[in-house]
Structures are given as structure tokens and as C-alpha cells.
Amino acid sequence: MSFPSLLPVAALPFPEIDPVLVQIGPLAIHWYGLAYVAGIVFAWWYARRLVSNPRLWPDGTLPMKPQDIDDFVMWAAVGVVLGGRIGYVLFYDFARYIANPADIFAVWQGGMSFHGGILGTTIAMYLFARSRGIRPWSLFDVVAAGVPVGLGLGRLANFINSELWGRTSDVSWAVLFPNGGPLPRHPSQLYEGLLEGIVLFLVLRLLTHSWLKLKAPRFVSGAFICGYGLSRIFVEFFREPDAHIGYLAGSWLTMGMLLSLPMVLLGIWAMATAKALPRSAQA
């Protein structure tokens, strides 16, 4: 959808923020990489607090030790990076990487899939939980509760990088992206950051601390993946699809929607079937 009569001067100017935060010689620290690190650190810190609060768990029995969370951080980082990269290669640009296999390892050029990242982290969580004798769903719940902050920071970094911008629009807050053509566009990265980051985190905080849903394993996980899926599907109506993929049907269905729909269904199932543990249940 475009608006040929729209004048670029009606749009908000794109803020001049260098995607590189600090550069020392050949070493560059990008906002996008910093967002990943900050998201992982926050999720680690928040998970430690959750597993240290007996009020949140059945009969006050903690499901794991804070040290378990410390040990899991490396597993999570590997799962996010490998899963995110492999997911992008498979779901979004398979033909290119088959033709140029060496590009698969050029992660500094960008190209990460959230759906692949969450799958990689889920596998890492399951393997780690089984190796420590922890209920897998309780670990899923603890990790999921802190993930939205990292998602929000990541979308903010996408905005700074002038990537994944939205469709052309005549709304008063539309932005002229430097590489988005002559017409103003929805700042869809900010929409997604608001929904996936702030709103979803607050919803999960309500579930964990007010409704005490950590006592019913997989409810919080289900709320997270369902909430993310719904947020992503909504924002896809404003986000420009990847040029090499385009729309999958008509002028509305995108790959992001297609990958998010199973998440919504899985999340609904998880919440509907979650049951509170007996008071005597042990980790």
C-alpha cells in the first residue's frame, strides 16, 4: 500500500543515531549486539529473583537454585544465537545461503530470526533442565518471564539500524527512513517493541506476582508465546515484508504471521492445560 500524493516533508525525520555505539580500531560495538547482551543479562538477573522468592512457588519450595540460573546463561546464549541464525537461514533467505554457504557464518551482516531463537533456546532449556533434575516447564516459565525486555531492546536497535521498517503511511508519526524510499513509513519496530517489550513484560509480571501463576507450570510460558504471537501478527499488518519473500497470499499474509500462528495455538493450549502443582510437589 502506498500514498503517491504524500510529501516526505510531512513525516518525522529519522533520528541520526550511529548504529555503532563505540569503535576502537577494528572492534565495533553495535547497538544491536548490545541489545542482545542487555536482554540476556536482564533475563538472568530477573530469573534469579524469581527462583529466590518462595512466595511465588507451591508450598514455598523453590524449583531450582540461583546457581542453576547462572550455569544456564551460557546455554541460553548459544541457543539464542544458533537458533536465531539457523532459523533466519531456513525461514527467510534459504536460496541465498545455499548459493553462498560462507555467508551463513557472517552474523555481523545481520539476519536473526526470533522464531528460530526461541526454538534454539527451548531445546537448550529442555536439555539443561533434564541434566539438573529440574521441571522443564518451570525453567521455561522463569526464563520466559524476563525475555520481553530483551525483545523490546532488540526492536529499538532495529529502529536505530533503520531496518525492518513498516509500510508506507500518512499517519502523523510516520518516519522517513534513510533507506526506506522517498515515502514516510510506520515505525513498526517501535510498535513491536512496545507490545513485545513493555506490554508483554507487564502482563507476565502480573501473572507471576499477583496471580501466582508460577505455581501452575507452563501457564506463564504459554502466556508469553501466545502474547508474542498475537503481537507479531498484529504488527505484521504495519510492517513491510522482506523484499525477497513478499506476501504469501494476496496483500496481507506474511511469513511472520505464518510462523507466529502456531505459537498462539501452542500458548493457548499451554495455558488451558496448566494445573497448579500439589503443595507437596518438590523440584
Rounded to whole angstroms, the Cα distance separating 111 from 92 reads: 9
User: Is residue 155 a known part of a binding site?
Assistant: yes
Rounded to whole angstroms, the Cα distance separating 119 from 13 reads: 37
Rounded to whole angstroms, the Cα distance separating 22 from 19 reads: 9
Rounded to whole angstroms, the Cα distance separating 191 from 240 reads: 13
Q: Quick one: cell of 93?
A: 533467505
**Residue 93 DSSP label:** -
What does the DSSP assignment read for 59-91?
Answer: GG--SS-HHHHHHHHHHHHHHHHHHHHHHHHHH
Stretch (H or E) spanning 24: strand 20-24
**Residues within the annotated binding site?**
155
